[in-house]
Amino acid sequence: MSKLLKQILKKSRKSKTRILFPETFDERTLIALKTILAKKLCQPILIGEKTVIENSLKKLKLRINLKRCQIISRKDKKLQKDLSQKLFKLRQKKGLTLKQAEELIKTDLNYFANTCLALDLADGLVGGATTSTSSTLLPAFQIIRTAPTHRIASGVFLMILPNREPLLFADCAVNIRPTAAELADIAINTAETAEFLGLKPKVALLSFSSHGSSHHPEALKIAQATKIAKRRAPHLLVDGELQADSALVSQIANFKAPRATIQGDANILIFPSLESGNIAYKLVERLAGAAAIGTIVQGLNKPVNDLSRGCQPSDIVYLTAITALQILKK
């Protein structure tokens, strides 16, 4: 385990944050729950039926004291009514009817869970191990919504590599083709995430060009995003546009961008598009043997973090600890 992950687990220990876990039918969630309870990372709230969860634990031969968890039943009629009313109230101006809200609460686990969060039944949510990112996050954007302090929500992965310091990759989950202003916001927000995780942010906005080696509009957009980020956060160590090797290798930075404030020592990589960020994190995870912890969603009123469908129980444990830190930060 990396030094940073140990620090994150230590910081979140005994946090008493209430974190919701919707996917109790998935064995990875239950395996992770044993560690989450052992390390006292949060106060788990499980969505499911107690007898079903107990039977699953028996099959997995896991000994967990469910008295240490709160269990929310989707069959609770009063709760269904309360959630339907809350969802209707939040979405009626967007055309959602009460009948449609009732149907969503009955049939869609992600709407059920996010509305529980909106009713303050929990402080944060960790899910997505069994659903696509869009299915997991759309209800969060509709119900939990972007915080007033943020212009945009975005998705970050904490990349733990075998032979170098940790990196943060953004945006790998939310914004398909961000504008220059949105890229600047993503850069600033990711720097804030780095700080509460325990990293000193050094931000590189990536392109196929380094400091004007190309005058293509896409490269110029990254240069403009860098200017906006520097204006909005003058204290932040940020540079761009930079090619990935200039951002990560000092010798190449010295050759390609000798005047850059980032000289191969970036620990935050801001990608120009969702496709490049998503592809990059998966390649680094699979080919370089990195642990990819995320998606850490930044910018919402309450943390709703999205697991990859290919996640391991350890990923759930670490994302839970990060979710606890997000809650404590607020």
Q: What is the 3-state secondary structure (H, E, C) of 192-240?
A: HHHHHHCCCCCEEEECCCCCCCCCCHHHHHHHHHHHHHHHHCCCCCEEE
pLDDT band for 240, please (50, 70, 90 cuts). confident
CA-wise closest residue to 195 among 154, 236, 155, 146 = 236
Q: Average the pLDDT over 258-287 and give the result.
A: 92
Place of tokens 């990935």: 244
Adjacency order of strands within the sheet including 124-127 = 70-72, 43-47, 18-21, 124-127, 304-306
Q: What is the mean pLDDT of the chain?
A: 92
Contact assessment for residue 123 and residue 327, using Cβ atoms and an 8 Å cutoff: yes
More confident residue, 264 or 188: 188
pLDDT (tens digit per residue) in 293-330? 989 999 999 999 999 888 899 999 999 999 999 998 87
Contact assessment for residue 120 and residue 111, using Cβ atoms and an 8 Å cutoff: no
Question: Mind listing the domains of the chain with CATH numbers?
Answer: 3-145+308-329 (3.40.50.10950), 154-287 (3.40.50.10750)
pLDDT above 90: percentage of residues in the chain: 74
Q: Distance between the two ends of the chain, CA-based, in angstroms?
A: 27
Q: Average the pLDDT over 13-23 and give the result.
A: 90
pLDDT above 70: percentage of residues in the chain: 99
Residue 5: other Cβ atoms inside 10 A: 20
Residues 6+ apart with CB under 8 A from 215: none
CA-wise closest residue to 247 among 280, 277, 202, 217 = 202
* pTM for this predicted structure: 0.90
**Amino acid, single-letter form, for residue 89:** K
